[in-house]
Amino acid sequence: MVKTVAISQLKTHCLRLVNDVARRHRELVITKRGKPIARLVPIGDAPMEAALSGLRGTLVAGGTRIEDFDTGVLWSAARR
């Protein structure tokens, strides 16, 4: 289950909530007047790999579809 927090609570407890997301590797949905407006998600090897592999075959550069790309290269570049 995804945890939700009101934006007013995020303002008050930002550091604690960010640390909790990073430590537990679980996203946090931020709400305003009860409606979701944003997500705070952890950064890590597995989520990045999953996100990039999900894009395989969907990227277009200069009008040409990129069918295969090396997620390892992209990830190592993002870590620097």
Q: Are residues 34 and 16 in the same domain?
A: yes
Higher pLDDT, 75 or 46: 46
Q: What is the CATH number of the domain that holds 36?
A: 3.40.1620
Which domain covers residue 74, as residue numbers? 45-79
Res. 76: pLDDT tops 90: no
With 0.85 as the threshold, say if the pTM is over it: no
Beta-carbon count within 10 A of 24 CB:
11
* pLDDT for res 68: 52
Q: Are residues 27 and 10 in the same domain?
A: yes
Give the separation between CA 9 and CA 60, rounded to whole angstroms.
Answer: 40
Q: How many domains are there within the chain? A: 2
Higher pLDDT, 73 or 41: 41
Summarize pLDDT for 17-71 with one digit per residue, the tens: 999 998 888 899 999 999 999 999 888 655 556 666 666 666 666 665 555 555 5
User: Cβ neighbours of residue 24 under 8 Å, at least 6 residues apart?
Assistant: 42
Give the separation between CA 33 and CA 8, rounded to whole angstroms.
Answer: 10
Q: Are residues 29 and 55 in the same domain?
A: no
